[in-house]
Amino acid sequence: MSALRISAALLAATTAIAAAQSDEYARERAALLREIERTVTQTARETGRAQLDRRVLEVLGRLPRQLFVPSALRDSAYDNRPLPIGHGQTISQPYIVALMTDLLQPQPDDVVLEIGTGSGYQAAVLAELVRKVYTIEIIAPLGEQARERLAQLGYKNIETRIADGYHGWPEHAPFDGIVVTAAAAQIPPPLIRQLRPGGRMVIPVGSAFFAQTLMLVEKDDDGMVRSREILPVRFVPLTGQSP
Amino acid sequence: MSAGLRLYLSVGLLSAAALAYQLLLLRLLAIVQWSMLAGTVVSLALLGHGASGTALALLRGRAAALAPPLYVAGAACFALAAPLCFALAQRLPFNALELAWDAAQWPRLAAVYGLLALPFFFAAACFGLAFIARGRDIARVYAADLAGAALGAAGLTLLLWWASPQTMLRLVALLAALGAALRPLHPHAQRPAGRLQPYALALLAGAVLLVPESWIAPKPSPYKGEQQLLAVIGARRLEQRSSPYGTLSVVASPRVPLRHAPGLSLQASAEPPPQLALFTDGDAMTVITAPGDLRYLAQMTSALPYALRAAPRVLVLDSGGGEAVRQAFALGAVAVTAVEPNPQRFALVRDGYRDAGGAVYTGPRVRAVAADPRAFLRRDRARYALIQLPPAQSFAGSGAGALAGAEAYLYTVEAVGDALDRLADGGLLAYTQWERLPPRESVKLLATVIAALRERGVAAPGARLAMIRSWQTSTLIVKNGALDAREQSAIRAFCARLGFDLAYLPRMEAAEANRFHRTARPYLYEAAQALLSPQADAYIGDYKFDVAPARDDRPFFFQFFRWRTLPELLGLRAQGGVALLDVGYLLVVATAVQALLYSLLLIGLPLLWLRGAAGDPRWRTGLYFAALGLAFLFIEIVWLHRLVLLLGHPLLAASAGLSAFLLFAGAGSAAAERWQARLPRHAIAAAAGALILWLLLLEALWPRLVDAAAVWPLPLRALAAVLALAPLAACMGLPFPLGLKRVSVQAPQLLPWAWGINGCMSVCAAVLASLLAMHFGFQSVLLAAAALYALAAMLLR
């Protein structure tokens, strides 16, 4: 057998394996979407969302999440759970990503700020739905990896920065939406100022692997700020009769 | 050196090393993960002991002949295994926070457990070999073992003030190496092979000393607060100090300011000046705030009491880096007493970072005290217009349930009573807590405070309470008297100005709750209404988390787990329901299960295999030794928890408690063996009866001892603890050898079986006792122990 034939066979085999893997991930993505949709229906009362925006689900259905997790965890990329991405950070549970994105109510002309780039997955999801995404990461190696990853995936409408997210990105303010994907110790007043009246800010509350609730901060046209905390779980602490 | 002296010295050294290693693991595990794993340490030691006994039983008659070389090998293996097993265990990719999400974490937890138990196996094998080889000297060998253990516990606790935990790990290994080098069971130390002894010792010591620092330096979980902060650009650790109370780190983050302000209003107009983070064991962050614009301190929920009281005299408990002290002065306090439980943290803030922290613990209007806050409440005679308790732990730790298994004696019904005793007429007691959804800490605190008020005869506790919340914290105020209309309107104005929600005020309307930071239902408002109503008990019973009032008998304030909620939360896994589980509790349960499996595998199964030679076990014998294994550990573990109230810290409690139990139970056992022939026929029943009587006496005297000891220095309190437990422990040491003697006479083939069952039950009971105490309280566990001893006495009359 000639070297050429061997190479051709190897190439074919490699392509077949890649295709098979791709199919495998496609199946896993579809299964994950079904699970997310089912969960959203079950938690409609808690979240106020009977169903998610179809565009959000479509994006989750085509984004290669396996490219945003460490290679050792690729087989778990479509498990509906948070995964470690190094430096003590996690990539959020897909259901939470879907819900956070949906709560932001992204529109095609929106400009969105993300605090906590992490793996870049949330930024990529948003970039498919809005005009421009600005994303800030405080941990330099993570921010650099995410920048490279997003560039390789061809995202032109995402701008990354390694900096303190507290101050937001005033040069590009106001923002139609702000998503704080890092669990927040405080809600920075500059971010509230950079939110456009009528805009929405979504923040997970909790710690790594334990993002228990989502906080939706809304700024009305008069600049008044109110927040709502959403437990994304069909769970009521008390089932008995309260007086 | 005589053969006898070599043996006693070697056993003493090895015993000191083994107990010091046991206590050291409490420190190391608290640094690497959270204190969640620390509860497993006693069961690790017992597993090692149990498995080694089984191994010796399997050797049968050959153990005596092989004892000399095996002893040396065992001690040398301990010397190597103590640092290396810890190094390996912390390299395993185990993450306690992922237990609820990732099934792969469970076998890793089992591997960590097995690795950490291995050094105990080697040490215990040496003790067993010494007993086998020198049966005639057993009392003295036993005495050396116990004296070594007691010295090991005391020595480690003292040395941890000067040496880091990893340095102590080397020292522990060197002690064991020295024990090996003494070759105590070899008849002649200077036999030809003995010439190699100095070289072997040098090689072993060299190996221990050459273990790279990076292998044994504890590597904290990357999810702990300090590691998260150090990952931030420009952050660096300025200093690290260690003591038995914990490892302290000061971290500066000049490029990304900390801005630590729990519960800061979303309407806040100011932010904190530069701050330094102060971590204990890499978490539980508190801050040292530089002088500057402190207006932000008025815009947190914890500022509420200052809206009600001008120029108060303030007591701050658990004052940490001193932020609550700064807040008090910034908001008009005339004098502040600050109580900080960790003396090293206190010195660091008062002296080391005096200027960086605005001299928060010095000055004419500050009285700063390094003391256990609960003990301070009992011994102080001053009265205060305001007592402040800041959040008890980090926000992240709160979310993960990291403190589920830890005692919190400052948050019990009795502690609330002690604090109320220190309030002036009309004074305010203010608690600020991290807020979670669904609420847990704040509901339990309300229940605890209401129970305390009712028990003091307050007919209408609701008239004295106010509670507000932000998105992140809640603050509960308890007044020494009824809140008047002026105070209530001041609270309403404070909330309206800063966008905080009212959770409870006397006679407030439901519509006033849940306005600024809305939740699906006004949970806290509903909880307060229910807890103040006649249906309070039903409400607590129906709540899906454990929010029953915490008491000194069940001081696990941060334990919220309820078994009946588990299936529902697991069913909600896809929605993130497992995030509502407290991983700290799960870890204790997991440890109990694996302790059972390990003990069955390493103790039970081998002995079952021996059964062919031993004959069928008899249920009466098995039950007797099972009861003893459970009962002994139930009592020991309960007292390790209880001593925290007397001594102020888990490590000090473990050090004093383990010393007392080992020393005096051992002495009881030795006495039983020595005077067996002279003991009356009903000695077992007499011992059980005596220990039950002492248990009852301790129950009656314990609260008084704790009260009286509040003014005593720590060494005196530790001595009191040891002496109080001594008669109990001595009685507890009797039934086991007496039972063994009875079996050896009546059915010697059952000895390994009896021994193994006792080992299995001891390993499990070490974890089970904490679990039972969390749900039913210490007295219930002690009652169960007394019943088990009574059962044992009836079984082997």
Q: Please provide residue B223's backbone torsions phi and psi, each rounded to the nearest 5 degrees.
A: -95, 0
CA neighbours closer than 13 Å in the CB half-sphere of residue A178: 36
The single-letter code of the amino acid at B686 is A
CA angle centred on B172, ends B345 and B175, rounded to 5°? 140
Partners of residue A216 on adjacent β-strands: A202, A228
Length of chain B: 797
Q: Strand, helix or coil at B550?
A: coil
CA angle centred on B82, ends B284 and B193, rounded to 5°? 165
Is A92 known to be catalytic? yes
Please give the pLDDT value at position A20. 47
B516 touches chain A (CB under 8 A): yes
Chain centroid offset of residue A104 CA:
11
Question: Which pLDDT tens digit goes with each residue over A128-141?
Answer: 999 999 999 988 99
Q: Strand, helix or coil at A86?
A: strand
Residue B138 CB burial class (10 angstroms; 0-12, 13-18, ≥19): middle
Please give the pLDDT value at position B166. 93
Cβ distance of B516 and A82 shorter than 8 Å: no
Please give the pLDDT value at position A8. 43
- Residue in A233, A234, A241 to test binding to B, most B beta-carbons within 10 Å: A233
For residue A3, name the pLDDT band (cuts at 50, 70, 90): very low
Cβ distance of A210 and B233 shorter than 8 Å: no
Cβ distance of A42 and B575 shorter than 8 Å: yes
Calculate the dihedral angle through the C-alpha atoms of A17, A20, A26, A32, rounding to the nearest 10 degrees.
-90
Cβ distance of B396 and A228 shorter than 8 Å: no
Nearest residue of A to residue B580, measured between CA atoms = A212
Our CA-based measurement puts residue B518 at a distance from the nearest CA of chain A, in whole angstroms, of 5
Ramachandran bin of B111, using left for φ above 0, alpha for ψ from -120 to 50, beta for the remaining angles: alpha
Using a CB-CB cut-off of 8 Å, the residues of chain B touching A209 are: 97-98, 100-101, 223, 400, 579
Our CA-based measurement puts residue A140 at a distance from the nearest CA of chain B, in whole angstroms, of 6
Please give the pLDDT value at position B755. 72
Using a CB-CB cut-off of 8 Å, the residues of chain A touching B568 are: 235
Our CA-based measurement puts residue A103 at a distance from the nearest CA of chain B, in whole angstroms, of 15
In the structure encoding, which two tokens stand for residue B371, read together? 């003391």
Cβ distance of A87 and B231 shorter than 8 Å: yes
Using only the alpha carbons of chain B, give its radius of gyration.
28
Q: Burial letters for A175-214: b for 16+ Cβ neighbours within 10 Å, e otherwise?
A: bbbbbbbbbbbbbbbebbebbbeebbbbbbbbbbbbbbbb
Average pLDDT score, chain A: 83
Catalytic residue among A2, A22, A76, A92: A92
Which parts of chain B sit beneath pLDDT 50? Answer: 189-190, 192, 394-402, 613-615
What DSSP string runs through B417-452?
HHHHHTEEEEEEEEEEEE--SS--HHHHHHHHHHHH
In the structure encoding, which two tokens stand for residue B148, read together? 């070594």
For residue A19, name the pLDDT band (cuts at 50, 70, 90): very low
Question: Which pLDDT tens digit goes with each residue over A83-109?
Answer: 889 888 888 889 889 999 999 999 999
The single-letter code of the amino acid at A69 is V
Residue B554 is given by DSSP the state: B
Please give the pLDDT value at position B617. 52
Greater confidence, A168 or B64?
A168
Residue B519 is nearest to which of A138, A229, A240, comparing CB atoms? A229
Place of tokens 């061809």: A154
Residue B141 CB burial class (10 angstroms; 0-12, 13-18, ≥19): buried
Ramachandran bin of B183, using left for φ above 0, alpha for ψ from -120 to 50, beta for the remaining angles: left
β B236-243/B501-504 pair status: unpaired
- Residue in B437, B524, B544 to test binding to A, most A beta-carbons within 10 Å: B437
Place of tokens 């938690």: A43
In the structure encoding, which two tokens stand for residue B205, read together? 């010591």
Question: Which pLDDT tens digit goes with each residue over B705-735?
Answer: 999 998 899 899 999 999 999 999 999 988 8
Please give the pLDDT value at position B677. 66
Our CA-based measurement puts residue A242 at a distance from the nearest CA of chain B, in whole angstroms, of 6
In the structure encoding, which two tokens stand for residue B452, read together? 């305390």
B266 touches chain A (CB under 8 A): yes
Please give the pLDDT value at position A1. 42
- Range with lowest mean pLDDT among A28-42, A119-133, B588-602: B588-602
Q: Which of residues 522-551 of B touch A (CB under 8 A)?
A: 523, 526, 529-530, 533-535, 538-539, 541-545
Q: What share of chain B is helix, strand, coil (3-state, %, to 5)?
A: 65, 10, 25
- Residue in B521, B568, B575 to test binding to A, most A beta-carbons within 10 Å: B575
Partners of residue B569 on adjacent β-strands: none
In the structure encoding, which two tokens stand for residue A174, read together? 């106001």
**CA-CA distances (angstroms) from residue A83 to A21, A39, B101?**
20, 19, 9
* Rounded Cα–Cα distance for residues B485 and B125 (Å): 72
Using a CB-CB cut-off of 8 Å, the residues of chain B touching A46 are: 520
Q: Burial letters for B114-132: b for 16+ Cβ neighbours within 10 Å, e otherwise?
A: bbbbbbbbbbbbbbbbbbb
Q: Which of residues 158-217 of B touch A (CB under 8 A)?
A: none
Using only the alpha carbons of chain A, give its radius of gyration.
20
Chain centroid offset of residue B552 CA:
15
Please give the pLDDT value at position B188. 57
- Residue in A43, A95, A207 to test binding to B, most B beta-carbons within 10 Å: A207
β B501-504/B465-469 pair status: antiparallel
Nearest residue of B to residue A86, measured between CA atoms = B222
Say which residues have a Cβ less than 8 Å from residue B365's Cβ, sequence separation at least 6: B329, B333, B334, B335, B336
Our CA-based measurement puts residue A129 at a distance from the nearest CA of chain B, in whole angstroms, of 24
**CA-CA distances (angstroms) from residue B469 to A235, B303, B446, B518, B726?**
21, 12, 13, 11, 48
β B275-280/B283-289 pair status: antiparallel
Please give the pLDDT value at position A112. 97
C-beta of residue A185 within 8 angstroms of C-beta of residue B395? yes
Cβ distance of A209 and B499 shorter than 8 Å: no
Angle at which helix B197-210 crosses helix B165-181, to 10 degrees, equals 170
Nearest to B344 by CA among B477, B161, B163: B161
Cβ distance of A209 and B545 shorter than 8 Å: no
Residue B542 is nearest to which of A86, A139, A240, comparing CB atoms? A240
Residue A237 is nearest to which of B100, B395, B544, comparing CB atoms? B544
